[in-house]
Structure 1
Amino acid sequence: MKKALATFVSMRTAHVNNMALEACVAFLLAEELDADDNVPFVADALRHIQGVRDKTEGDYITTVVPQYSVVEFQNHFQLTPTQVEELITSLEPVNWNFTRRKWPLRNIILSSLWTLTTLESYRDVAERFQTSKSVICDHLHEFCALLTEHFSHKIRWPKGAEAEASVAGFSWAGLPGTLCAVGSRHVPIDKPQGVPEPEAYLNAKQFYSINLMAFCDHAGRFVHVNAEHPGGWHNSQVFQMTEVGKALQEDPQALLTDHHLVGDATFPLFEYLLTPFPDFGDLVVKKGRYNWRIFSTLKVIQNAFRVLLSRFHRLKSLQMHSIAKTSTAVKACCILHNMCLETNNPVQLDDTDCDTVLQEPFHLLPNGHSGSLGGISKRQDIVASLGRKRPQDIM
């Protein structure tokens, strides 16, 4: 062990970047170290080797990035090179608050995209882009703020042709008139500072989070997002506080025009928001078929969240004490998600979804109810209209 450490330290001091010596270090590490017991040391060694290589090869942005193919570029930054150029063109004229900006805008955008895409420590990101951790953090906050301000149109409520396409797209689930699906995910945060009730952000799984409530169309594109409220709040409470929830309470027709949303059992049943029947194991066939269609529709929003978290791993560990900055970063990732859909950029989905936090069904809450009269009536009408089971219902 001491021999391996001495060899590695001497190489670190000399800044040697040689493939043969790297192989020697790897051999010594494998031979002398138990990987299970020395993961931090091995990770640090590998980071150093890669860091030395990057510095020897030249500046990462000007030397390495131009060598990437379009696919490689997207894998690292999620957006295409063309989309990054569009960001530069749109944001360059903006009066940046960071008045002493020393970096070119391209560096700021690429480093911010890299930071949001990976779970590398801020220190490691700074080493990759040959700057300091504070610069990476400051520019990340600034980039997210500018993105949410100047690209908010990337998240828009479906109207006209977009609304018709979404309703038609959801028709595969057999629930006519569905415009959007609504759901929520919990974004982990550090214990918040500067808020009246920090413990309100402690959710049922006993970690601090904010509730990301999102509405999506048939293609998984976010059409409205809210990432401001505590993880300890119930979905029904957060829903009422969203702009969509408030608008629906005032005039549902202005937003939906005879269509409806679909949500899970944590949301209240209304004529404009359909939810599943409570299942105690004794549902009649048609009610069970109705629930199956609800759950099929909800898979769209569930998959949208999974894609979002698979693209932007930083959402699993933002490490921002400010709720305002955290909310802005989450919204920025949702905007970037929609931009990725514009270019059909595929993503390798993560196997785990640890941010799912179970909540009580709305009708079981102390202030809950079984649904509005309009909602109950509409749900019963849909159940009555369901005919024989289609072939795809069996699959």
Structure 2
Amino acid sequence: MAVEACFAFLLAEELDAYDNVPFVADALRHLQRKRSKAQRNYINTVVPKYSISEFQTHFQLTPTQVEELITCLEPLNWNVMRRKWPLRNIILSSLWTLTTLESYRDVAERFQTSKSVICDHLHEFCALISENFSDKIRWPKGAEAETSVAGFSLTGLPGTLCAVGSCHIPIDKPQGVPVPEAYLNGKMFYSINLMGFCDHVGRFVHISAEHPGGWHNSQVFEMTEVGKALEEDPHTLLQNYHLVGDVTFPLSEYLLTPFPDFGNLVLRKGRYNWRILSALKVIQKSFRVLQSRFHRLKSLQMHSIAKTSIAVKTCCILHNMCLENNNPVQLDDTDCDAVSQEPFHLLPNGHSGSLGGISKRQEIAASLSKKRPHYII
């Protein structure tokens, strides 16, 4: 098909000099009809011929994982008129929509249905995945916690349970919210702040995806379930461990951040910062992998914050499912949308950190060896 398209383009260039445009137009229409026919047969004739790797490229999950989804979702109560369309088609079309940036209209053409059906099924698919597979995003406890701490220790930073960070998910100007401009971030596009917490392999252990892109990370962190739990009962949540975050987060004995760097850091503080940044590469890569798998996150085109949040959570759940199965991913060249923010200690209501946090950071910095840290991803 690609060769035919190139041939048609070159032929059009050549024949343009002879004013034979109608012939070229007929040729292009013929190619378009062939493409439309191929799309009409896509679900029944093309997909079954995919190899496992080709299937994963288009749908991110393996055929076996899709069958497991069908088994789990079949008994559930679907609000839309699913009986008119096989459940397999609903799942594959939803995965395709999340994986690609193909327009909703083109997705509908590919799966032989209407744009409204694609959108309705996508919203319900995301709602059911978010509700029934929420255990795929779980806080590490027991053996899982010990494994994560051991993994992060390769960076030379002891006692680290998770890394926390954020990225911005572009959205249309939101409707039905008190202050839509609150979602306008520092890069002047509307977004929600996806705050993620991940273990040493990049598995999301908690996410928050409903707060405005115009909010500072420290403000979003306070509103997350993790942030609230740290205020109420940090020991139960962290089991004597700690989190690591960048300078936009408030320093405490439960959340370690880098030393402010004004170009004159002493060696021990520099070594500490080096190890913190090494650990933070895990969450940075998690966001990059997430958006490389699910390109729709770069353009969700949803006006509802609630539906947007559910779609983002669904992608995070599917991301973890891919990690469980070691599904390969082709990383995009571009990083996820990062918005520069002021360090927490420079904010009007900011501070240098809690006394416990300052003391713990100093102790860890003094204890670190000169050995270079490993990157664990």
TM-score, normalised relative to structure 2: 0.92
CA–CA distance in structure 1, aligned partners of residues 372 and 342 of structure 2: 33
What is aligned with 1:182? 164
Corresponding residue for residue 125 of structure 2: 143
Residues 1:28 and 2:11 aligned together: yes
Q: Per-residue deviation at 1:347?
A: 1.1
The yes-or-no answer on 1:359 pairing with 2:350 is no
Q: CA shift at 1:29, angstroms? A: 4.0
Letter in 2 for 1:25: A
Query: 1 CA distance for matches of 2:218 and 2:44?
Result: 49
1:263-274 equivalences in 2 (<5 Å): 263-274=245-256
Is the contact made by 2:195 and 2:221 (CA closer than 8 Å) also made in structure 1?
yes
Aligned to 1:158: 140
**For 1:347, what is the secondary structure of its paired residue?**
coil
**Distance change (3 Å), C-alpha of 1:94 and 1:277:** same
Partner of 1:195: 177
Is the counterpart of residue 279 in structure 1 residue 261 in structure 2?
yes
Q: Which amino acid is 1:364 matched to?
A: L
1:391/1:252 CA distance change after superposition, 3 Å? closer
Residue 390 in structure 1 maps to residue 377 in structure 2: no
Is the CA contact (8 Å cut-off) linking 1:262 and 1:297 kept in structure 2? yes
> Take 1:48 and 1:245, find their aligned partners in 2: how far apart are those partners?
59
For residue 111 of structure 2, what is the amino acid of its counterpart?
F
Is it true that 1:117 corresponds to 2:104 in the alignment? Answer: no
Q: Secondary structure at the match of 1:27?
A: helix
The answer to whether 1:334 aligns with 2:316 is yes
Does residue 133 (structure 1) correspond to residue 137 (structure 2)? The answer is no
Aligned to 2:21: none
- Contact 1:276 1:294 (C-alpha < 8 Å) held by counterparts: yes
**Is contact 1:184–1:214 with CA below 8 Å preserved after alignment?**
yes
Query: 2:45 matched to 1:55?
Result: no
Paired residue secondary structure (1:212): strand
**Per-residue deviation at 1:351?**
1.1
1:375 pairs with 352, 357, 362, which one? 357
| 1:49 Cα deviation after fit | 3.5
Distance 1:164 1:19 in 2: 51
Percent of aligned pairs with the same amino acid: 79
Structure 2 unaligned runs (5+)?
Answer: 17-23
Unaligned 5+ segments in structure 1 are: 1-17, 34-41
Secondary structure (helix, strand or coil) at the match of 1:367 reads coil
Q: Which has the higher contact order (CA 8 A, sep 6+)?
A: 2
| Counterparts of 1:47 and 1:370, CA distance in 2 | 66
Matched, 1:297 2:257: no
Count of residue pairs the alignment pairs up: 366
User: 2:303 maps to which residue?
Assistant: 321
| C-alpha displacement of 1:47 | 10
AA at the equivalent of 2:204: F
Name the TM-score, length of structure 1 as normaliser.
0.88
CA distance in 1: counterparts of 2:261 and 2:208, whole angstroms = 29
Conserved? CA contact 1:126–1:132, under 8 Å? yes
Q: Within 2, Cα distance between the matches of 1:393 and 1:103?
A: 50
Q: Secondary structure at the match of 1:321?
A: coil
| Deviation, structure 1 residue 26 | 3.3
Change beyond 3 A, Cα 1:20–1:363 = closer
